[in-house]
Chain A
């Protein structure tokens, strides 16, 4: 809004800025003083027509100084308008020397071509100076005008606010339409009520402290991106920020702290296009009465507070979500790190074992001892990097369980315990995909029965970084109810490097009729190929095993299942029946494969340990038997050798006895009587 002067021919001067209340009308009295100039030559600089109303009475006479015209008024003029002087549209390029007008209170130089403010230092009573629409490049020459109250410098070429130090009474400062880039040197203007900096080149607003009377601040049409210090203006009521570059309320947050603001405009800013604009402003600036020149109604305020609350909630929700995500990511990193360490340690151990068992004499060729790149420093540095990041979050788990609609993801071996939780039937029923990451496959095998019961609809299993190394391990998956899809991620699962692994899976788990393996459809040819490759194995495993082996192997599997069932709590009778049916069906469909089991390495070794005792006993037992047998054999052989001789002797003894019939009869009779 421009500051227009409308000079009345009447007795008072009204400055019509709509912002000024009535009481500040400036009144000028006519001054009848007419100072005289001692013999100066006046020069006509411009003899063109005087378009101003009062120009007719003014003579611009050339002076002795070549550039400055001297102004002289007729004495009637001086008497009539002794305290105001209007030089509008006089095509002035310089300020003329104004002589003998020391009582001047209003000076109007509007619409000229003046480039510098000069020759007005003597007008020390000046209250109102209007230099609107000139070519002034610098504020200067005002240092004596201590009474100046209104300074209008709009539409000039001023680049900097300066040289206003002595203008302590300044009430209105109008610098609109200039090239000012920075608010400065105004901090001493404690009486300033109106500051107009519209249409300048300001990019930010600050340095406003000290303007204790400022009521209106016009900053329209600038390039302002942020506003500061406005809360230091105790009287500021109106702030116009239209057509700037404000895009977020944070950049103008000081406005919320200003208690005096009642009127504000933001139209033409990017912020005004946002959906949350109105209610954010209203919510943050409760003291406002008008926004963008429109009154704010109660209804609007209420809506604003509701919407703002919703925004707050949404923000909080988002924050929570991102925090959760971050925590999840860090947990997964933690699990990955632990897994990595575990693997390295395991590798070192196995490599060392192998080295120990390989005695150098066995192999004539040189073996480079396995190149173990285990460097604790390496792991150490990895640790320190992560730990510093982890310190931000207070609780880091060593495992993660995530249920996301139809996918259950488990990271880290600790997560397997979560299968024991009481999952509601509905949530558990929805789970169709179970994904295992950073867990040893052997550990997963042990919880597969639990998985079968708790998540009956899980059809797709995914394994990543689970240390699948042998084809045999796939045998363990046969105990599940059904698998439609299987995804074995190559990362961390060396088994994928084998040429035949998919065929083996198809063969062993043929009763599932799987649809997809690692994303590729299973074709008829694949199934046939699998059968071709491993069919004999199945045949051998079933028909060529002796009966007792079959029973013992199958019995083992069944025993394990029953043992698990006995251990689970809260089982329903229905499930138990299903289990039986399942196992029956399993055996019915696939007797030839059922013997292909997988026992984890630990279990296997345990069993072998257990058997050792038995073996020792058996050995001893057999040894005893053998000893006995050989003794008997020896005795038998000895007998064989000795028997002929013995027989001869027996016969000889008998014959000798019976030679004398009578004495023999007597002898026998005697023997019988002796017996009694």
Chain B
């Protein structure tokens, strides 16, 4: 904890890097907003709860978009929350449109902007037929890349555009000797082929990562992605990023694609579900009894019913 690097940074920079101030400000703001309610049970307790929730990643639930976007940790927590809340939708196998995913996002964040969802959808659909249906996992990983690294991706897009049109952004900034030769080669009509050359692209990205204040994917992994191909398009690059599980792990918000549908809370969920639905059925049965004076079959109380409810055997009901 008390590593020397930590002490090496001056105060403000350290605080800024860890976004401590953001959380402090937000905590005080929340305190001010809910003065009456919080004063009842103590300010110390409030701060404890607040920072606990920050650690757990639940602080972003139902918060405004500006807060969720504020720090990488917030973004990661949001992604995780989204995954956990709607994993069942994915498990059910429903394919949804971009608008519907956006709706689900809005359930957790009321003012989530549509542009981000659209951009994420573009990655999945390779910018084609925006009304297509997408699977949950595809969307989730694309969304992760788009949301977590949104500023980085914007810059990458700019770079790509420049490269496509023949300009090399590196000419101004990076004074390495090799780039000069590359520059000359590049000027000779590369525009006719699709996309850009991978290695050149990587160099620009590397420079970007170095000078970028925002979070970037680890350059080594980016290099890995780019080393497989000779040329690539912008969306091709993004798709590769989203599918790369190394980057996913580096982010740390979501599990690997294979484990997406599983999770430790699965069992918990099942149990809860069963109990709830059983309660509902008995409640409905009571109402029905009152109304019609009939008894439902003894199904509802038998223990076998509890086992029959689990996900695998419930038929996928047809959409309305």
**Residues of chain A having any CB pair with chain B under 8 Å:** 354, 357-358, 361-365, 470-472, 494-495, 497-500, 502, 510, 513, 517-518, 520, 524-529, 531-537, 539-541, 544-549, 551-553, 555, 595-596, 599, 604-605, 608, 611, 614-615, 617-619, 621-623, 625-626, 629-630, 633
Is the CB of B273 closer than 8 A to any CB of chain A?
Answer: yes
Residue of chain B at shortest CB distance from A350: B114
A539 touches B272 (CB 8 A): yes
B81 touches A540 (CB 8 A): yes
A536 touches B94 (CB 8 A): no
Is the CB of B250 closer than 8 A to any CB of chain A?
Answer: no
Chain B at the A interface: mostly helix, strand, loop or mixed?
helix
In the bound complex, residues from chain A placing their C-beta under 8 Å from that of B32 are 614, 617-618
- Which B residues, 160 to 187, have Cβ-Cβ distances below 8 Å to chain A? 160-161, 164
Extra pairs beyond A354-B115, A531-B273, A534-B88 (6, CB < 8 Å): A354-B114, A494-B99, A498-B99, A524-B281, A528-B309, A535-B88
In the bound complex, residues from chain A placing their C-beta under 8 Å from that of B132 are none
B21 touches A622 (CB 8 A): yes
**Which interface class (under 10, 10 to 19, 20 to 34, 35 or more) fits B?**
35 or more
Could you name 8 residue pairs across A and B whose Cβ atoms are closer than 8 Å?
A354-B115, A362-B154, A500-B96, A513-B283, A528-B273, A532-B273, A532-B311, A618-B26
B94 touches A499 (CB 8 A): yes
Give Cα distance in the complex from A611 to B86, angstroms: 30
Residue of chain B at shortest CB distance from A545: B61
Is the CB of B247 closer than 8 A to any CB of chain A?
Answer: no
A364 touches B157 (CB 8 A): yes
Give Cα distance in the complex from A541 to B107, angstroms: 10
B287 touches A535 (CB 8 A): no
**Residues of chain B having any CB pair with chain A under 8 Å:** 11-12, 15, 21, 24-26, 28-30, 32-34, 37-38, 41, 46, 49-50, 52-53, 56, 58-59, 61-62, 64, 81, 84-89, 92, 94-97, 99-100, 103-104, 106-107, 110-111, 114-115, 127, 154, 157-158, 160-161, 164, 234-235, 265, 269, 272-273, 276-277, 280-281, 283-284, 287, 309, 311, 314-315, 317, 319-320
B99 touches A546 (CB 8 A): no
B88 touches A533 (CB 8 A): yes
**Contact A618 to B81, CB < 8 A, known contacts A541-B61, A548-B34:** no
A622 touches B25 (CB 8 A): yes
**Contact A510 to B317, CB < 8 A, known contacts A471-B103, A500-B89:** no
In the bound complex, residues from chain B placing their C-beta under 8 Å from that of A611 are 29, 33
What is the minimal beta-carbon distance from B162 to any residue of chain A, in angstroms? 9
B87 touches A536 (CB 8 A): yes
A472 touches B28 (CB 8 A): no
B110 touches A472 (CB 8 A): yes
B29 touches A499 (CB 8 A): no
| Candidate in A518, A520, A549, A625 with the most chain B CB atoms within 10 angstroms | A549
In the bound complex, residues from chain B placing their C-beta under 8 Å from that of A534 are 85, 88
B53 touches A499 (CB 8 A): no
**Contact A532 to B88, CB < 8 A, known contacts A354-B115, A524-B281, A545-B58:** yes
Give Cα distance in the complex from A552 to B33, angstroms: 9
| Candidate in A510, A525, A539, A629 with the most chain B CB atoms within 10 angstroms | A539
What is the minimal beta-carbon distance from A321 to any residue of chain B, in angstroms? 38
What is the minimal beta-carbon distance from B265 to any residue of chain A, in angstroms? 8
What is the minimal beta-carbon distance from A628 to any residue of chain B, in angstroms? 12
B157 touches A513 (CB 8 A): no
